[in-house]
Amino acid sequence: MLDIGPIHRSEYELDEDRSVPVVIAEAPGRIHYLGEHGEPKAGLFLSSAIDRWIRIAVSMRKDNSLRFFAADLGERKRTTLINLKFKREDRWANYIKVAIYVFAELGYPVKGLNFTIAGNIPQQVGLASSAAIEVAAAVAIRGFFKAGINDKELLARLTAAQLVFFGRNTDAVDYQIILSAKRDSFFVVDESSMEIRKIKFPLSRYKLLIMDSRVPRFGVEEELKQRRSDIKKGLELLSQKKQGAGFRSFATTDLVESMGDLPEEIRRRCMHIVRELRRVYDAEEAMKNRDYSGLSKIIFHSHESLRDLYEVSCPEIDWLVKRAQEIEGVLGSRMTGQGFGGCTYTIVRDNALDDYRKRLEDYERIFGFHPLTYEVRPATGARLVSAKCRTELE
């Protein structure tokens, strides 16, 4: 892991004042194994943090400028508190601004601060890199000012700030996972109540691989908007039979009877959501009971549902999952993220790793994209790495 303390000090020439405190915090990415593309604000997820991180350092300035430096990119951005707003050209810095806004609203003196950011979470593939930036920045600022704000309040304020900055309601589940994660643990996260249940990682003899397909993703937002519209219409039609009911009300009923009158496309979308809810509950039980065969079937069935019912997969992703499924020693493989490209995850036994990698060598020849593979483990949540003065960091 890159130590950005020295880079931060060098970038902002803190030698002029050796008493300037430099606080460093880090936050992990996250992966959803099951549950994505569920009912808005009422989803159920099987997830974990991953041991890929965003690390942010913060120190005070003598002027009122807010300065941002991306060490990995060599990019610099700047603004002031009075101009603290979303700017498209500021890209990654906008997520740090969200955290600044939270503490400015609480009355902390954030008029002049330096920020340095570095990390190794793959970008724009559904691993919550933007949420990790926000949380890492918020935890760093909280430590810098020794602010008395707990994780629950921080989560609520980050969610509200997202609406101010980006004009949309964000997925608070990402914040919850990133803040609450424990090493070698999965979580079942209930979005409707924000309650979480921890499951100890039962796969000590397996590796977790993320495969970035490198498929260009065009028009994804319009496709996903249509899916969300289908879900909304389906829920409205279903609620005529059971007033005020959500999809969970149908998870244990006769699905064919409940959904038989829906238009075919809407019925398929709704069927995916209802069955995926059941799969999350079943996977939780399978993991607790170390039922590897049962867990394997759940994961593969989930991908088939995303492919055939929700229709957010693509030929490249399906090929990766199918090839993985053919390998003895692979427990499960499935797309993760928004879909139409992006990533798969694969859970594979240690002694099958070489076979897995060899089997996927044909991917680039067939599709023309060079895939990237990351080995990860369920990781701990956001934390302060260092909260010492400049002289103590030497």
Amino acid at 1: M
197 and 258 in a single domain? The answer is no
Determine whether 174 is an active site residue.
yes
- Hey, CA dihedral for 292, 344, 206, 178, is it positive or negative? negative
- The domain that holds 330 is classified in CATH as 3.30.70.890
The pLDDT value recorded for residue 259 is 63
- 310-326 pLDDT tens trace: 999 999 999 999 999 99
Question: Which is catalytic among the residues 151, 174, 212, 230?
Answer: 174
The pLDDT value recorded for residue 394 is 35
190 and 119 in a single domain? The answer is yes
Q: Taking residues 15-27, report their average pLDDT.
A: 73
Q: For residue 223, report the phi and psi dihedrals to the nearest 5 degrees.
A: -65, -45
20 and 102 in a single domain? The answer is yes
Count of CB atoms situated within 10 Å of the CB of 240: 9
Q: Taking residues 24-43, report their average pLDDT.
A: 93
274 and 347 in a single domain? The answer is yes
The helix/strand/coil state of 256 is helix
Residue 353 burial class via C-beta count within 10 angstroms: exposed 0-12, middle 13-18, buried 19 and up: middle
Has residue 252 got a pLDDT over 60? no
Has residue 48 got a pLDDT over 50? yes
Has residue 213 got a pLDDT over 70? yes
- 326-335 pLDDT tens trace: 999 999 999 9
Beta bridge partners of 378: 50
Amino acid at 333: S
Question: Of 59 and 249, which is predicted with more confidence?
Answer: 59
132 and 226 in a single domain? The answer is no
Helical H segments across 240-384, by residue range: 255-259, 264-288, 292-308, 315-325, 353-359, 362-367
145 and 45 in a single domain? The answer is yes
359 and 229 in a single domain? The answer is yes
292 and 342 in a single domain? The answer is yes
The pLDDT value recorded for residue 248 is 82
Question: Of 247 and 389, which is predicted with more confidence?
Answer: 247
Count of CB atoms situated within 10 Å of the CB of 211: 25
- 217-230 pLDDT tens trace: 887 889 999 999 99
Contacts of 226 (CB under 8 A, 6+ apart): none
- The domain that holds 71 is classified in CATH as 3.30.230.10
372 and 248 in a single domain? The answer is yes
Question: Of 202 and 290, which is predicted with more confidence?
Answer: 290
Task: Output the average pLDDT for the chain.
Answer: 89
Give residue 147's pLDDT band: very low, low, confident or very high (50, 70, 90).
very high
15 and 137 in a single domain? The answer is yes
41 and 76 in a single domain? The answer is yes
Has residue 387 got a pLDDT over 80? no
The pLDDT value recorded for residue 9 is 76
The pLDDT value recorded for residue 13 is 66
How many residues can be counted in the chain? 394
Taking the model in full, what pTM does it have? 0.92
Number of helices (H) and strands (E), helices first, in the chain?
A: 13, 12
**Domain that residue 370 falls in:** 206-376
Has residue 243 got a pLDDT over 70? no
What domain count does the chain have? 2
Amino acid at 277: L
Please check whether residue 350 is in contact with residue 377, taking contact to mean a CB–CB distance below 8 angstroms.
Answer: no
Give residue 136's pLDDT band: very low, low, confident or very high (50, 70, 90).
very high
The pLDDT value recorded for residue 125 is 85
60 and 185 in a single domain? The answer is yes
Give residue 5's pLDDT band: very low, low, confident or very high (50, 70, 90).
confident
The pLDDT value recorded for residue 62 is 86
Please check whether residue 260 is in contact with residue 252, taking contact to mean a CB–CB distance below 8 angstroms.
Answer: no
Alpha carbon 124 to its chain centroid, in Å, reads 10
The pLDDT value recorded for residue 393 is 35
Has residue 336 got a pLDDT over 80? yes
